[in-house]
Structure 1
Amino acid sequence: MNSQKTIYYIALSLFSLAILGSILNYSMNYEMVVETFIKLGYPIYLIHVLAVCQSIGLILILFNKPHWSLEWVYAGFFMNFTLGALAHLAIKDGNGASAVICIVLLFVTYIQSRKIRDNSNELAEFGKYV
């Protein structure tokens, strides 16, 4: 159980840093991000939407409350990274490696948070009957 929490917190820290870096990149290098979005064929207004949604999603993942919205957050991040990697591959603008790394970190945090939550629920259930 302790090693699962360690893996979870390491992956969550790396994932959080990647998302915070992405959000800061949207605001600090706005002109470069606009050029990239135009090259990828995405509308420019999507930059602000992604920044807000990533901020909200990161906050929800950090609080890690077992709720239906958390599942949607993980799904949203997965779609965002997958479509981003595919868009970069489609126009041959890099290989989307950062998106793939974020997908791996996202899977690790999702699986480990589920294991930790399930183990906590089992312990709570066991305590009821003892």
Structure 2
Amino acid sequence: METSANLPRGQSEQQTGMTPKTIKIVYWILTILFSVAMLMDGIAGVVREETGQQVMRQLGYPVYILTIVGTAKILGVVALLQPWFRTIKEWAFAGFTINFVGAMASWAVVSDDRTTLLPPLFMLVFLFVLYYFWTKYEPR
């Protein structure tokens, strides 16, 4: 049984509302869900899936950017899943953040339909929640 002495940064169980075991479970569920989504998207980019090509053309980007961003997403997933290098993991979080903010900015420029901003916004919020649980699960 884990005690509040194991909680990060001197927080008590009462302050976080979750036991360390609960934090660990939520962190790994979020990590797996996010990683699967980004891995699938990264692979689709590397193989230049047709829908991705259409989206890049609509946004005004060259199709080859799919390979670059897809490779970066796959490497970002590897970075999120590895347990040894904290800085690499932080860079992966930053890279995914830049990707989602860039997607929102791109859609905001080319589309009057603001609902196109929702998928990258959702993923950005999901990423921030994942980051929050990572900081609780693996304190500095």
TM over 0.5: yes
Choose 28-37 or 11-20, whichever is displaced more.
28-37
Q: Which residue of 1 aligns with 2:129?
A: 108
Q: Which residue of 2 aligns with 1:90?
A: 109
Separation in 2 of the partners of 1:116 and 1:50?
28
Separation in 2 of the partners of 1:63 and 1:97?
29
Which structure's residues are more often helix, by fraction? 1
Query: Which one-letter code corresponds to 1:78 in the other structure?
Result: T
Structure 1 residues 52 and 27: alpha-carbon distance in aligned structure 2, compared to 1, 3 A threshold: closer
Q: Which residue of 2 aligns with 1:34?
A: 53
Structure 1 residues 109 and 65: alpha-carbon distance in aligned structure 2, compared to 1, 3 A threshold: farther
CA contact (8 A) 1:18 1:102 kept: no
Aligned-residue RMSD, C-alpha: 2.0
- Say which structure, 1 or 2, has more relative contact order (CA 8 Å, 6+ apart): 1
Deviation at 1:113, TM superposition (A): 1.3
Alignment of 1:77 with 2:96, yes or no, is yes
What TM-score, normalized to structure 1? 0.79
Question: Gaps spanning 5+ residues in structure 1: where?
Answer: 122-130
Q: Which residue of 2 aligns with 1:8?
A: 27
Query: Which one-letter code corresponds to 2:126 in the other structure?
Result: L
Question: Gaps spanning 5+ residues in structure 2: where?
Answer: 1-19
Aligned length: 119
Q: Which residue of 1 aligns with 2:71?
A: 52
Separation in 2 of the partners of 1:97 and 1:91?
15
Separation in 2 of the partners of 1:64 and 1:101?
26
